Amino acid sequence: MPDLLIEYLPVVMMFSIALVLSLAFLVVPAVIAPSDPDAEKVSTYECGFEAFDDSRMKFDVRFYLVAILFIIFDIEVAFLFPIAVSLDIVGVYGWVIMMLFLLELLAGLVYAWKIGALDWE
């Protein structure tokens, strides 16, 4: 039985260290951090309307438009990474396909720019 305890001693030590560190990470900021936030710190941050207002109020649709455009272009650009990693495998054909994909992205960006989706006014 003592051999079994000696085998689990590193696991128990790591668990103890993790527990002590996690408690320290929770307690130390609560002790040393200032607890009187000013009005600027608790104010609305880049959302365009007051945070504790009526949730059914109307607000500008441009927030959604910018967010959707960001998500679309961000996800499409994420498709470039696998091709860039395996570019030596896919060769010239893969490079041409990637350039066509980038051209399609550019066309979408030009269209969004042309219809004024990126203008904030």
Cα–Cα dist 60/65, whole Å: 10
pLDDT band for 55, please (50, 70, 90 cuts): low
pTM: 0.45
Cα–Cα dist 111/108, whole Å: 5
CATH number for 113 = 1.20.58.1610
98: in domain = yes
- Model confidence at 53: pLDDT above 70: no
Q: Are 117 and 69 in contact (CB under 8 A)?
A: yes
- Model confidence at 119: pLDDT above 70: yes
Parent domain of 74: 57-121
What pLDDT does 44 receive?
64
More confident residue, 8 or 21: 21
> Where does residue 36 fall: left (phi above 0), alpha (psi -120 to 50 degrees), or beta otherwise?
beta
